Amino acid sequence: MSDTTDLPGPALDVEAWTCPAPLRDRPRVVMGHGGGGVLSAELVQQIFAPAFGGEVLAQMGDAAVLSVGGARLAFSTDSYVVRPLFFPGGSIGDLAVNGTVNDLAMSGARAAYLSCGFILEEGVELDVVTRVSEALGAAARTACVEVATGDTKVVEAGHGDGIYINTAGIGLVPAGVDLRPQRVVPGDVVIVSGAIGVHGVAVMSVREGLEFGVEIKSDCAALGGLVDAMLAVTPDLHVLRDPTRGGLAAALNEIAQASGTGVVIRERDVPVPPAVANACAILGLDPMYIANEGKLVAFVPREHADAVLGVMRAHPLGADSVIIGEAVEGHPGMVVARTGLGGTRVVDLPIGEQLPRIC
Amino acid sequence: MKYIDEFQDPELARRLLDDIHATVTRPWALMEVCGGQTHSIIRHGIDQLLPDKIELIHGPGCPVCVTPLEVIDKALEIASRPEVIFCSFGDMLRVPGTGRDLFQVRGEGGDVRVVYSPLDALRIAQQNPDREVVFFGIGFETTAPPNAMTVHQARKLGIPNFSMLVSHVRVPPAIEAIMSSPSCRVQGFLAAGHVCSVMGMGEYPELAERFRVPIVVTGFEPLDILEGVRRTVRQLERGEHTVDNAYARAVRAEGNPAARAMLEDVFDVTDRAWRGIGVIPQSGWRLAPKYRAYDAEHRFSVEGIRTQEPAECRSGEVLQGLLKPHECEAFGTLCTPRTPLGATMVSSEGACAAYYLYRRLDMPAAKAQEATPVV
């Protein structure tokens, strides 16, 4: 008995195997537009950038670098919509500080002042607001940054996930520091400051009620001090990125495409903690695409690589720093992984969000 | 890493590869049935390391790819209803039906939720007694038992607001259909290990004998796949065609009797359409009559939805091994994971998607450029 009566049958005609219709362009926002991949980039490039205009925006860095009165200021903003509000190793309050501080740090700036906008959902307990605020204040003190201004809005019940936070920050870029992907040249060494995929899996473990046998704590941290230490060895770093949404894969792809160089990484050298690898194996996710909150990727001239790696490893937030690959002339704009067995594969920019596989 | 690293060991892989290279004397075409195996082969570059004489043909074993368009359309119709909470595994949300997907339904206000287990959907039903909760039950023999158990549990607990949209498929009839095709080039099969861990190996000896084709039960890690290839090639070179278990750490000959009993209780075998392929007799499951109350097609009266799949792409040839994904004119241009023309580009486990994601480097420069997303 058939439950699909109008399809070819009963005998299978493999010569006539056919396929589905094309997917239409999406007329509405989907979650993938915020996933840090191709859809996010298209949203910015096709809607926001043309509408806003401006040369500074065209830098498309984690922070904009502005010339003001002879000084170079770094300026950045980010919004935090994490669910749940508290997770192993941190909270939305920590994220709201560290995320913006790190965006500034990736331009070489030490964050000085933050703004903080709270969007609260009607009904959220004031105790929760207090705990988030205290976490935010503590993270700011740790990062040596001052919350200088703020704003509060309340939305009706059902119109938010308890608390959303937006922070913006400014910092000073030291003289001689010029971090942008266009400076990357073939031969540059690619360094990551430690284990990847930790934050994303930590949040997933509590958000989805998944238990992976061991508790995985977020690596959420402010990286200003680590960047200072790296710049003290040499101001001639070429580019820094914190691989947040879209993970290491998205950060490397953005740099490869903006710089016009190829990137080769050695898959076995990419530090993935066993707990993260196991969680990803269970869910069918790739750690390369999982978000991080306390890690950075650096493209460093080869002659400075040992010195930079040395100071990174001497810093508590870079103790597990490791060289994972290099920029190359071949395959411009593309990231390629040498697999553990000796093959190669392209490491693509994600389309939207990663989705757990069915089996 | 325990249980993973030891199955990706480069030194052991090298030894297996050396053995395969030493064994092969003639060209052989092997099909890995499961999309998870395809993904692993391409992701680890295993096909690049095998002798040129061995061709791996990517089979139709991707559950997301093969779910028929009309089932997706039924899902979209049900998920659009205001009274429904529609629960699905994540990777089904991106699969296009006629003109839209579940992500878009959610963007339009539909309550579509990603779950990690069908039992999560049942719990949501218990927590939302005033809503209708529907779980999208698709996949092979691997996902069918927990889905069956969930329906069984819903009936046992008397949860009235839970139902399942069922489109399960079975592997052995697909192997039979592939081997029966006059254009079939497959000479040996790497059978899907996790399917056999549920169903056992009892369905394969008759197929191996009838089509004189070796069938080697194979796992998913690189060393598993190399061992599966090694054993298949060894049989082919010797002129043998038996069923062999190269995944003994997970597969017993009888499979999982409890899971099979649950399948028999909840499901009936039925003809099923496979997206991009067509109807394969006896290749699927549907809910047995005593569970009809839990059949979402019946409950939401979408049984009448019929969708014709336009013949626009060549994934049928890809599935037969007559065409490599990047040899298709539409590959990377008209057809990408974002705008899939065909089933094999729909899921990341489909052969075309795997090539798109991992193999653009191997293509002619112009084609690779076209296939690279511009950001």
Complex ipTM value: 0.70
Per-residue confidence band for B371, with pLDDT thresholds at 50, 70 and 90: low
pLDDT at residue number B369: 52
First to last CA, chain A: 28
User: Which of A257, A281, A343 is nearest residue B4 as measured by Cβ atoms?
Assistant: A281
**Chain B residues lying within 8 Å of A355, measured CB to CB:** 90-91, 93-94, 114
pLDDT at residue number B19: 97
Q: In angstroms, rounded to a whole number, what is the distance separating the alpha carbons of residues A184 and A258?
A: 9
Residues of chain A where predicted confidence (pLDDT) is lower than 50: 1-24
Q: In angstroms, rounded to a whole number, what is the distance separating the alpha carbons of residues A47 and A57?
A: 13
* Burial of residue A271 (number of CB atoms within 10 Å: 0-12, 13-18, 19+): buried
Residue in B with minimal Cα distance to A27: B104
Per-residue confidence band for B370, with pLDDT thresholds at 50, 70 and 90: low
pLDDT tens track for B190-212: 999 999 999 999 999 999 999 99
pLDDT tens track for A43-78: 888 888 888 888 888 777 778 999 998 899 999 999
The answer to whether B325 and B351 are in contact (CB under 8 A) is yes
In chain B, what percentage of residues exceed pLDDT 90?
62
Interfacial A residues in 296-355 facing B (CB < 8 Å)? 331, 333-334, 336, 339-346, 348-349, 351-352, 355
Widest distance between CA atoms in chain B: 66
If we measure between CA atoms, which residue out of B136, B241, B145, B267 comes closest to residue B200?
B145
The total of other beta-carbon atoms located within 10 Å of residue B3's CB is 11
**Chain A residues lying within 8 Å of B374, measured CB to CB:** 257
The answer to whether A338 and A344 are in contact (CB under 8 A) is yes
Instruction: Identify the residue whose tokens are 């960047």.
Output: A227
Q: In angstroms, rounded to a whole number, what is the distance separating the alpha carbons of residues B182 and A7?
A: 20
User: Which of A4, A15, A253 is nearest residue B68 as measured by Cβ atoms?
Assistant: A4
Do A359 and B143 count as a contact with CB atoms less than 8 A apart? yes
Give, in order, the Cα–Cα distances in Å from B79 to each of A134, A190, B297, B302: 41, 45, 12, 12
Residue in B with minimal Cα distance to A204: B116
Residue in B with minimal Cα distance to A211: B116
User: Which of A20, A28, A352 is nearest residue B343 as measured by Cβ atoms?
Assistant: A20
pLDDT above 50 for B219: yes
Give, in order, the Cα–Cα distances in Å from B88 to each of B23, B92, B133, B284, B343: 45, 7, 11, 19, 19
- Give B36 to chain A, closest Cα distance, Å: 8
Kindly state whether A158 is in contact with chain B, defined as any CB-CB distance less than 8 angstroms.
no
* Burial of residue B327 (number of CB atoms within 10 Å: 0-12, 13-18, 19+): middle
If we measure between CA atoms, which residue out of B326, B320, B220 comes closest to residue B277?
B320
Do A23 and B338 count as a contact with CB atoms less than 8 A apart? yes
Do A14 and B177 count as a contact with CB atoms less than 8 A apart? yes
**Chain B residues lying within 8 Å of A341, measured CB to CB:** 8, 10, 13, 44-46, 49, 222
Residue in A with minimal Cα distance to B143: A359
Interfacial A residues in 214-273 facing B (CB < 8 Å)? 253-254, 257, 268
Do A355 and B114 count as a contact with CB atoms less than 8 A apart? yes
Do B104 and A28 count as a contact with CB atoms less than 8 A apart? yes
pLDDT at residue number B95: 80
pLDDT tens track for B294-341: 999 999 999 888 876 656 667 767 766 677 888 888 888 888 877 777
**Chain B residues lying within 8 Å of A26, measured CB to CB:** 103-104, 107
Phi, psi of B205 (to 5 degrees): -55, -40
Do A12 and B106 count as a contact with CB atoms less than 8 A apart? no
* Bridge partners (DSSP) listed for residue A142: none
The total of other beta-carbon atoms located within 10 Å of residue B21's CB is 14
Q: In angstroms, rounded to a whole number, what is the distance separating the alpha carbons of residues B125 and B128?
A: 5
Q: In angstroms, rounded to a whole number, what is the distance separating the alpha carbons of residues A68 and A196?
A: 36
Q: In angstroms, rounded to a whole number, what is the distance separating the alpha carbons of residues B84 and B300?
A: 10
Q: In angstroms, rounded to a whole number, what is the distance separating the alpha carbons of residues A351 and A32?
A: 7
The answer to whether A116 and A78 are in contact (CB under 8 A) is no
Q: In angstroms, rounded to a whole number, what is the distance separating the alpha carbons of residues B313 and A318?
A: 49
If we measure between CA atoms, which residue out of B285, B260, B294, B371 comes closest to residue B326?
B371
Give the total residue count for chain A: 359
pLDDT above 70 for B343: no
pLDDT above 80 for B143: yes
Residue in B with minimal Cα distance to A23: B339
pLDDT tens track for A152-207: 999 999 998 899 999 999 999 999 999 999 999 999 999 999 999 999 999 888 87
Beta sheet of B54-61, edge-to-edge order: B54-61, B28-34, B188-192, B215-218, B243-245
pLDDT tens track for B14-38: 999 999 999 999 999 999 988 889 8
Q: In angstroms, rounded to a whole number, what is the distance separating the alpha carbons of residues B347 and B96?
A: 10
Hey, what are B155's tokens?
A: 């009936």
If we measure between CA atoms, which residue out of B361, B363, B372 comes closest to residue B333?
B372
Kindly state whether A60 is in contact with chain B, defined as any CB-CB distance less than 8 angstroms.
no
Three-state SS for A184? Answer: coil
Residue type, A108: G
The answer to whether A222 and A102 are in contact (CB under 8 A) is yes
Q: In angstroms, rounded to a whole number, what is the distance separating the alpha carbons of residues B328 and B336?
A: 12
Is 0.95 surpassed by the pTM of this model? no
Q: In angstroms, rounded to a whole number, what is the distance separating the alpha carbons of residues A170 and A314?
A: 27
The answer to whether A223 and A317 are in contact (CB under 8 A) is yes
Alpha helices in B56-200 (DSSP H): 63-66, 69-79, 102-107, 118-127, 144-157, 171-180, 193-199
The answer to whether A222 and A142 are in contact (CB under 8 A) is yes
pLDDT at residue number A49: 86
Q: How many CA atoms lie within 13 A of B225 on its CB side?
A: 27
Cis peptide before A8 (omega within 30 of 0): no
pLDDT tens track for B255-300: 999 999 999 999 999 999 887 777 899 999 999 999 999 999 999 9
Hey, what are B158's tokens?
A: 């008397």
- Give A83 to chain B, closest Cα distance, Å: 15
pLDDT at residue number B57: 87
**Chain A residues lying within 8 Å of B310, measured CB to CB:** 18-21
Beta sheet of A239-241, edge-to-edge order: A239-241, A297-300, A189-192, A322-328, A262-266, A335-338, A344-347
First to last CA, chain B: 35
pLDDT tens track for B55-102: 998 888 888 878 888 899 999 999 999 999 999 998 888 787 887 889
**Chain A residues lying within 8 Å of B259, measured CB to CB:** none
| Cβ neighbours for B86, distance < 8 A, ≥ 6 positions apart | B75, B78, B79, B102, B105, B110, B111, B112, B113, B134, B136
pLDDT at residue number A14: 41
Average pLDDT, chain B: 88
Q: In angstroms, rounded to a whole number, what is the distance separating the alpha carbons of residues A130 and B107?
A: 33
